[in-house]
Amino acid sequence: MKKRYPHKKKVLLVNITRLGDMLQATPTIAGLKAENPGCHITVLVEKQFVDVCHVIPNIDEAIGIDLGFVCRSLDREGDGIVDAYEYLHEIVERLRSEKFDYCLNMSSSAYTALLLNLVGIGRNGGWTSDEQGYRVIESQWAQLFATSVFHQNRQYNSLNLVDVFRCSADVDAHPHKLLINIEQDSIAHCEGLIKAAPFSNTGPLIAVQAGASQAKRQWSPKRFVEMIKILVRDHNARVVLTGAPKEACIVDPIVAGCASNNVLSVVGKTTVPQLAAMLKMSAILVTGDTGPMHMAVAVGTPVISMFLASAYGFETGPYSEGNIVLQPVIGCGPCNPNKSCGRPDCHDTVSPEFVAYLTAERLKGDIKEVSPTVADPRQVIVYRSAFDEHGFCDLVPLNTDRPDAMNRYRRAYRKLWLEDLGGFHVPEPKPQGRLPVVDEGLRGLEEIVQCAKAGQELIRRLEVCIKNPSIPPSELGDVSQRLTTVDSEIEGLGFKHGPLESLSRMFIFAKENLKGTDPLDLASQMNRAYQDLERRCVRFGSFYLGE
């Protein structure tokens, strides 16, 4: 794989937000250690996650930041502003004193970018900012992440974010799973909970995570009740419902609806390490796209996962071999995570009977095929998680062998980014002759190519103007204006032709991240951006037509 900074001695990893994000960082952390023996890794997290870092392998030091204190202080105004400044000043000085030689910011927030600008680490794999506070994204893999999280572009992505971030950190060697340590006292605690439960069944222990980060991503309690009843009645199952204390309002009605001594709630009865132990003891986990899903993957427990509403399996699906992902087929999905939904029709594509069926089948062993008569691919696609020949996680459809147009885009982009950003060998597509639009799916692609060529021609003229001081400044201004027009056309074509916006967005990020002040060097960087755009368009078209 192409590497920008192959050697690292002292690394800061910024991953402030959630438990699931920390777990998804573990292959990157393990890879950094494997490829840089003796490397020291520090993570910066929100204060409440410091203890979680103690059960994640390969972390040498965890630094907690109390963002709640900062917000409360700023809200007080007056002396509160001074308190917030002094607190952040202490954090910055402590980070500076560590003299890190590399930073991977896995958070896309503006405040972490500004914070890292103050710390001043020279080599970066994620978000930082310049002296004026503008976003800087050095790594093209991190630029790809920023491109893929744009709502319109998400559905064209097939690269798991675990892989995108580890590539941002130049990590090639990595475990094909997430990692967490299981503590013996946590196992003993969970064994005590199970032993005290009034189970009458003697079958498999099935964990169920009913809560989710957003209501629209949460399967209804009624559906969970129906599914659990089938597992208890027909498969001799013992069911454990997991969750944080705040999820009791979701889980308690499920327990009441099941009305069975074979259904146990451990909501609020487990710490994070104890939850990991409970999932390790379980034969399988049924869940949405949740932190416990990633934890189950880390302890080696297979999952049946429902990716509803804004959740997207290709993006944050279970990062290990042999898990099942259910992705509804619906025109509005995956929806915008920042928008509420009054009628989540995507939930209707997944029935309790089908989830119970998949759970029972996965308990028997790996699932390699699902009949379309059992799961209609026009309603829901059933995927199995797997790894390709380059070590990247992928989702393989089990209930259909006929790739639709959306899947063609995903496969074409996957090949493009692996080849272009990663430097991996991708089999050459069948020759299709010249690039003109021979498929409705490529409408607009030739126009972007022509814009990229026009940009290169204008850059050549710009370089002439820079080198020859006798050329009137008005001509330099004319070239600059024409470049602005070309760039606007490229961006507009991306908006107009949705499947192509990832190409235009990557170009825009490249232009935003030009470095230096020397006019000729900046012109050279701009020229490379146009060349990259042209090359990527041609390769994308070839990969799409070769599917």
CATH number of the structural domain spanning residue 276: 3.40.50.2000
Q: What's the pLDDT at 366?
A: 97
β-strands 127-129, 102-105: how paired?
Answer: unpaired
**Residues of the chain with pLDDT > 70: what percent?**
98
With beta carbons less than 8 A apart as the criterion, state whether 323 and 244 touch: no
pLDDT band at 441 (very low <50, low <70, confident <90, very high): confident
191 is a domain residue: yes
**Is the pLDDT score of 428 beyond 90?**
no
148 is a domain residue: no
How far apart CA 278 and CA 272 sit, in angstroms, is: 10
Buried b / exposed e across 1-35, counting CB within 10 Å, b at 16+? Answer: beeeeeebebbbbbbbbebbbbbbbbbbbbbbbeb
Alpha-carbon dihedral angle through residues 244, 275, 66, 30, given to the nearest 10 degrees? -140
**Is the pLDDT score of 406 beyond 60?**
yes
How far apart CA 240 and CA 259 sit, in angstroms, is: 14
396 is a domain residue: no
Instruction: Convert the pLDDT of each residue in 37-65 to its tens digit.
Output: 999 999 999 998 898 898 999 999 999 99
**Is the pLDDT score of 210 beyond 70?**
yes
How far apart CA 23 and CA 480 sit, in angstroms, is: 46
pLDDT band at 132 (very low <50, low <70, confident <90, very high): confident
54 shares its domain with 189: no
Tokens read off for 499: 């499947």
Q: Residue 224 class from Cβ within 10 Å (0-12 exposed, 13-18 middle, 19+ buried)?
A: buried
392 is a domain residue: no
**Reduced to 3 states, what is the DSSP secondary structure of residue 131?**
coil
What phi and psi values does residue 302 have, to the nearest 5 degrees?
-65, 155
What phi and psi values does residue 479 have, to the nearest 5 degrees?
-60, -45
Min mean pLDDT across 13-17, 78-82, 406-410, 437-441 is at: 437-441
Handedness of CA 74, 80, 86, 91 (dihedral sign): negative
460 shares its domain with 363: no
350 shares its domain with 246: yes
313 is a domain residue: yes
What phi and psi values does residue 126 have, to the nearest 5 degrees?
-150, -145
Q: What's the pLDDT at 437?
A: 44
378 shares its domain with 415: no
How far apart CA 544 and CA 547 sit, in angstroms, is: 6
- Give me the residue label for tokens 């074409």: 412
How far apart CA 349 and CA 474 sit, in angstroms, is: 61
DSSP bridge pairs for 384: 324, 396
As a whole number of Å, the end-to-end CA separation of the chain is 24
What phi and psi values does residue 326 have, to the nearest 5 degrees?
-105, 120
How far apart CA 44 and CA 334 sit, in angstroms, is: 30
473 shares its domain with 519: yes
What phi and psi values does residue 508 have, to the nearest 5 degrees?
-65, -45
What phi and psi values does residue 28 have, to the nearest 5 degrees?
-65, -45
372 shares its domain with 274: yes
95 is a domain residue: yes
**Residue range 425-452: mean pLDDT, rounded:** 79
398 is a domain residue: no
How far apart CA 453 and CA 446 sit, in angstroms, is: 11
How many Cβ atoms sit within 10 Å of the Cβ of residue 169?
29
Q: What's the pLDDT at 211?
A: 95
Say how many domains are in the chain.
Answer: 3
211 shares its domain with 301: yes
Residue at 2: amino acid letter: K
328 shares its domain with 436: no
pLDDT band at 418 (very low <50, low <70, confident <90, very high): very high
Name the residue range of residue 475's domain. Answer: 407-547
